[in-house]
Structure 1
Amino acid sequence: MQSVLDLFDPLAFALVWLGAIAVVGAQEGRRGLVSSLVACKTLLLANPARDAQVAQRAVRRVETVIDLKGLQCIDRIKAQTGFVGHAVGYLANDPDAERFSAWAKANLEDREMRHNSVIRFWMTMADVAPAIGMVGTIIGLVRLFTDLESSDNMGSAMALALLTTLYGLVLSNVVAAPISQRFLRLSAEELKWQRALTDKLVAVISRYEKSP
């Protein structure tokens, strides 16, 4: 345990992590920075397979309610996921297949853009982190060569040079890259079931509109 703790240097850690966040934040803007960090809470909570099953049950309930009571009663259906609730609520207020299809397309495009923004943030973080680590390495080497006569300063300078490289590689390959790939997969799975849901609802409403 002590050997692992010896690898932690607050200055090197702050230089790499805060430096990488600052660089990527400058590229993506404050809004992109905040949304990308906040989105990390979904990494453990998101379950697209479960949400897809909920969506399928919601569609079946919509079909049943329409067949029994008419389209105006679908607002009574309690959806367990936000997107399903918005879709059903929109249909309850405006039961028109064409307008619902346009709303769904715009909504899903907006979701995809937000997903891509988060994915791009973490992919850029994975690319930037090793470079920030190298900056720390150069700073450490400069400190080393400017004060070769002091053994104490030599040790701290060498530690900074090596640890910043290590932290950059860890941030890139152990943190940022896996997070970006996780978000990429979650986005694809989520958008897949959401598109399937909206296509099914459009088909249901179109069939209802054509019925005598």
Structure 2
Amino acid sequence: MVELFDPLVLAMVWLSAIAVVGLQEGYAGLLRSFSAWKILLRADPVRDAQLARQALSRVESMLDVKGLQCIDQVQCDSGYVSRAAAYLACERDIGKFSRWASADLDDREMRHNSAIRFWMAVADIAPAIGMVGTIIGLIRLFSDLDDPQNMGGAMALALLTTLYGLILSNLVAAPIAARLLRLSSEELKWQRILTDKLLALARRGEKP
């Protein structure tokens, strides 16, 4: 029976790949990329967009009744709309709000891209790390040609490191990067749409 699970070899390959990419992206990028796990499974851009539209409807109602300065009083389940309404009510300047919203969305996109880039880099480098282990295993194999009892362990090391590198690349890192990319695209899309609608409401609220 071939032993396919070796925790020491698995840790060596996976941690090496993550460490190499961590050196490229820096400590902050490493933390940001692993913090993305919190939203990886529970994020739902469709639900968030629906909550934001409902919040925007309440903001519009408040604007019609009490004016632009009171829209921050709206209770809503959308964190983005709540922050945007609070800023707009405080500043009441469409130009400043437009610049703030643009900078906020750009910063958010940059953070998203940092996490996506990290996991894409892990997917790219993991097979190479596995090949390093394969070469080490082959070196051990050839050095033990006169001792058949040690050849099996060397061959297992050579093959397992390649296997673990491919698993990390194709079954872990690449799917994570793809899902984060899709979540980021969908989230930023509805947030930009909502920002434009808030700007339209603000212009309406400024009219005498």
TM bracket, shorter-chain basis: over 0.9
Q: Tell me the amino acid that sits aligned with residue 144 of structure 1.
A: L
Q: Paired residue for 1:7?
A: 4
Q: Paired residue for 2:188?
A: 191
Map residues 122-141 of structure 1 onto 2, 5 A cutoff: 122-141=119-138
CA distance in 1, matches of 2:201, 2:104: 19
Q: Tell me the SS of whatever aligns to 2:36.
A: helix
Q: Paired residue for 1:31?
A: 28
Q: Tell me the SS of whatever aligns to 1:45.
A: coil
Shift of 1:86: 1.2
Percent of aligned positions that are identical: 65
Q: Paired residue for 2:173?
A: 176
Matched, 1:119 2:116: yes
CA distance in 2, matches of 1:153, 1:10: 19
CA distance in 2, matches of 1:39, 1:143: 39
Structure 2 residue runs without a partner (length 5+): none
Shift of 1:73: 1.7
Map residues 1-212 of structure 1 onto 2, 5 A cutoff: 6-210=3-207, 212=208
Size of the alignment, in residue pairs? 208
Q: Tell me the SS of whatever aligns to 1:149.
A: coil
Maintained 8 Å contact 2:127/2:169: yes
Q: Deviations over 1:81-109 (max 9, x none)?
A: 32222111111211221111110000000
Shift of 1:75: 1.6
Q: Tell me the SS of whatever aligns to 1:80.
A: coil
CA distance in 2, matches of 1:8, 1:40: 24
CA distance in 2, matches of 1:207, 1:99: 16
Q: Deviations over 1:43-62 (max 9, x none)?
A: 11111001101111111111
User: What RMSD in Å do the two structures reach over aligned CA positions?
Assistant: 1.3
CA distance in 1, matches of 2:87, 2:39: 25
Shift of 1:148: 2.0
